[in-house]
Amino acid sequence: MEEEIEALRQDIRHLMAMHTASYVTLTSLVATHPNPQQLQLHLVTALEAVLGSERLARWSDDQKAIVRKVVETFQHVQPAAFIDPLASMGGRDPRNDPR
């Protein structure tokens, strides 16, 4: 029994780590989306469609609230500033410089 409990604890730790990695990745995708307004509209539409679906009909109110909170969190992510990967090289493009 103790082994089963420890296995469940490990599964939960792994799920938490996977969730965190997914959250970081999705936050970056949202922040760098080329059309933030379109993304926000799509998030709202998709959220309401999922929460009203038959698939989630048997989910608890807590589970549905978590889904809503996470999606709404992504709606507050601000577009990222432009990142110039060559800026740290003084603007020099290494593809054009055979050094």
Measured N-to-C along each axis, helices 36-51 and 61-75 cross at an angle, to the nearest 10 degrees, of: 170
CA distances to 24, 28, 49, 76, 82 from 40, rounded to whole Å, are 18, 14, 14, 9, 20
- The predicted pLDDT at position 54 comes to 95
Largest CA distance in the chain: 63
Mean pLDDT of the 4-27 span: 94
- 38 with 73, same domain? yes
pLDDT confidence tier of residue 87, bands split at 50, 70 and 90: confident
Containing structural domain, residue 39: 34-77
Mean pLDDT of the chain: 88
Residue pLDDT, tens place only, 29-44 = 999 999 988 988 999 9
DSSP secondary structure code for residue 91 in this structure: T
Q: Is residue 87 part of a domain?
A: no
Does residue 94 surpass a pLDDT of 70?
A: no
- Same domain? 39 vs 18: no
